[in-house]
Amino acid sequence: MALHELLQQDRRLVILRVLNEMPGYEANDSILDAALDAYGHNVSRDLVRSELYWLTEQQLITLRDVNGTQVAQLKQRGIDVATGQATHPGVKRPRPGE
């Protein structure tokens, strides 16, 4: 597997895990961008939004637009993937105890 694929899968897992820790299981793209930075993924807001759109297509999150800001909310399947109770192609599986 190529390095860019590993980074992509890890970014997606980080997004799901951050949403899993948020009240109401939701956060906007700005918060998610800052969280990715904190986890070592210094990426553009455009790339964050691309990952959010992909996660939406996979039915792991829902997205809504609030005055140009994307707000993501975790779905039950996304919770299962974030916690390692389920796997999904394209999302890194968390290690036990993470």
List, for residues 67-98, the tens digit of each pLDDT value.
999 999 999 999 999 999 999 999 999 987 66
For 29-56, the pLDDT digits (tens) are 999 999 999 999 999 999 999 999 999 9
Q: How far apart are CA 95 and CA 67, in angstroms?
A: 37
pTM of the predicted model as reported, rounded to 2 decimal places: 0.95
Predicted pLDDT of residue 97: 63
Q: Domain ranges in the chain? A: 3-82
What count of residues does the chain have?
98
3-state DSSP: the chain helix, strand, coil percent, rounded to 5? 55, 15, 30
Q: How far apart are CA 5 and CA 30, in angstroms?
A: 23
Question: What value, to the nearest 5°, has the Cα angle with vertex 28 and ends 6 and 41?
Answer: 25
Q: What is the dotted CATH code of the domain comprising 3-82?
A: 1.10.10.10
Task: Quickly state the pLDDT bin for 16 (edges 50, 70, 90).
Answer: very high
Backbone Cα Rg of the chain:
12
Predicted pLDDT of residue 42: 95
